[in-house]
Every structure is written in C-alpha cells, then in structure tokens.
Amino acid sequence: MSARTTTTGRFTFADWEEQPIGSADSTPRLARSTVVNAFTGGIEAGATSVGYTITYTGEGTGFYTGLELLSGAVDGRKGAFVLEERGTFDAAGTSCTFEVVPGSGSGELAGLSGSGAFTYRHGDTSVAYEFTYTTA
C-alpha cells in the first residue's frame, strides 16, 4: 500500500439536466439530475458521468447524493473509479464531500481508496477540489 497522498486541481461542469421526481410543486421535493464534469490537476478526467438525487428542503436549499464515474488519471496513474458524493446547497453555493467507492478502481487505479471535498460558489466557472488517497 502506498502512502496517503493529497492532490488538488479544478473541475468545470456542463450539460446539467434535472427532472422532478413526483410533485414539483411541494416542499420537500425530489429531483434527479445528470451533469458532465471535466477535471484538471491531480485528477485528469475529460468528461465524467454524474447522476444526482436531490432533496429540496426550501427554495434553493437542500441536500444531494450522487455517483460520478471518472475515467482518466490520478497523478499520472491511468484507470477509472467511482466517487460517492454527498452535499448541501443554498443561495451561496454548494459544499460537497466525496469518497471512492470501494473496489471501483481499475487499471493502474485498482485498489484506490480516498476522499475529498469541494466548495462551489454561485457564479464560479470552475471549482477547486482536494483529494487525499492511497493506491494498492
């Protein structure tokens, strides 16, 4: 097992699509969404696949969970892995923590484990992340 390593970078997002689950006129309410992210820095992944389930607890506030498939590299090691994400959002932006789904690493990322976080502020065109990990 390698030592714990912390890497940083930025990601951008595009193609946000959201659909209500059930009634869209009440609170709390549910929605699902998909988005495509592109990571640079320690994580290099040109176009990820992300699916979120969102709980709106008020106007523009709530909680979400999601899964993101990243295919690319972490600090030069090539492969793919899945992140489980949990976050909250409000009028200011979004805070999220994420963790590698155990056993999801492939290629040179087989055995990858780790976690990280990001904070997005409305209006930002890219988002800084930090990811601490170990590999087999």
| CB neighbour list of residue 77: distance below 8 Å, 6 or more residues apart | 107, 108, 109, 135
> For the whole model, what pTM was predicted?
0.94
Distance of CA 93 to the CA centre of its chain: 15
The span from the CA of 115 to the CA of 118, in Å, is: 11
Element (H, E) at 122: none
Per-residue pLDDT tens over the stretch 103-128: 999 999 999 999 999 999 999 999 99
Encode pLDDT of 57-72 as tens digits: 998 999 999 999 999 9
